[in-house]
A and B are shown apart, each in its own frame.
Chain A
C-alpha cells in the first residue's frame, strides 16, 4: 500500500497552515487511516490542536566527524571537500565547527588514511504518538540555538509509514530549505494564503518553489474579505486553483486561540474538508491519466 502525501505550506507565516492541516486530519480521521507529520520543527504546535498521546521519544542526531589527530596526515582533503566550511586546517591540526556540519559524511569518505570517524551529535528530538481516533502523529523539535532543521524533517519522514492512506505534512513557513525538505516529494501541496499584499508576495515565492519541485498544488484563501482581490486575480493567470475560501471571522480566531481544531469548532466545514480531499484525489487521478 502506498500513502498519498499532502503538504500544507504557505510562504507567509501565520496564514493558517496548522489550522488547515489539523482540520483536514481531524475530518479524514473519521473515515480513513491518517498520518500527521508536524515538520515545523523550529516551532511545532500541531500537537496543541490534535493533543496526541506521545508514546515514544527519540533523540534526533546527525553524524559529525571526529578526527584522530594521530592518524591524520594533515593533507587537507577533508577541509577542501566540506561545502559548509565546518572544517578548517591550522598547520597540522584539523578544527571542527560542529554547528556548521550538515552531517553529509564527505570528509570521512575522502580521508585517505581513515583518520575520520563519525560520532553522533544530538540536535533535537523526535516524538511519536496517536491522536484522536487513530491519527499516527509524528513531531520533532530542534534544540534552541541549533541552526539546521532539515535533518530532523528528513528523520521524521524516514519514520513515517506507507500503511496510512493519507499523510499530512504541516510545513514550516518560508520558502527555503526546511520547506523544500518537507514538500519536495509530496503528491500535492496546499498553499494557505491571505488576501493581503504580504500573503500575495510570499505566495508567489512558494509558487516559484512548486514550479521547481514539480508538485501539483492548490490554494486556500484564509481570512477572505480582508485586504484586496489581487491574490485571486493573480491566481487566475496561473494553473493553480483556489480550493477553499475561509472568511475572516473574529470567532475563528477566538476558538483557535483556545487550542481547538477549526473543523470541530465550525462543523459546517467538515464536509468542505472532505470535499477538499476528494478534489485533490481527483486532480491526482486526472494527472495520472495524462
Chain B
C-alpha cells in the first residue's frame, strides 16, 4: 500500500499542504516497510491543469490513496477514474507524520 500525501516540505516533519494540485511536494509513503520519498511536484508551475498533472503523477506511482486537504474537480475525476482513494486531513494535522498516523488509525475522512 502506497500513500501519496501533499506536503509543503520534503520530510515527515514537514507541514501537510491543504491543496492537492499545487502542493510543492508529495511524500510517498510505503505502508509495507515505512519507507518514504519526497517528490517535487512539477505541476505547481502549470497555469492550468495542475490537478490533472498531479493526479497523473500519483497514478504513475501506483498509489492506492492520495491524501490532501481538498481535491479540485479535475483531480477528483482523474483519481476516481483510476480507482485511487481520496482521503483528507484538516489544519489540525501539523506534520506529514501525524497524517500517516491518522491514516493508520482510520481517522482521515474520505473526500
Residues of A at the B interface (CB closer than 8 Å) are 79, 84-86, 88-91, 93, 95, 97, 100, 147
Contacts and interface: CB of A to CB of B under 8 A. Distances in A.
B50 interface: yes
A93 B77 CA distance: 14
Complex A-B, nearest 7 residue pairs according to Cβ-Cβ distance, in ascending order: A85-B49, A85-B52, A90-B82, A85-B53, A100-B49, A88-B56, A88-B78
B98 interface: no
B49 A84 contact: yes
Nearest to A177: B47
Interface string B30-68: 000000000000010010111011011001000000000
Interface residues of B, number: 15
A84 B52 CA distance: 9
Contacts of A85: 43, 46, 48-50, 52-53, 56
A100 B74 CA distance: 9
Interface of B: 43, 46, 48-50, 52-53, 55-56, 59, 74, 77-78, 81-82
Contacts, number: 39
Contacts of B53: 85
How would you classify the secondary structure of chain B's contact residues: helix, strand, loop or mixed? helix
Nearest to B59: A90
Nearest to A95: B81
Contacts of B48: 84-85, 100, 147
A144 to B, nearest CB: 16
Given A79-B56, A85-B56, A90 B49 contact: no
Contacts of B43: 85
B20 to A, nearest CB: 14
Contacts of B81: 90, 93, 95
A95 B75 CA distance: 12
A85 B48 CA distance: 8
A98 to B, nearest CB: 11
A88 B50 contact: no
A236 to B, nearest CB: 35
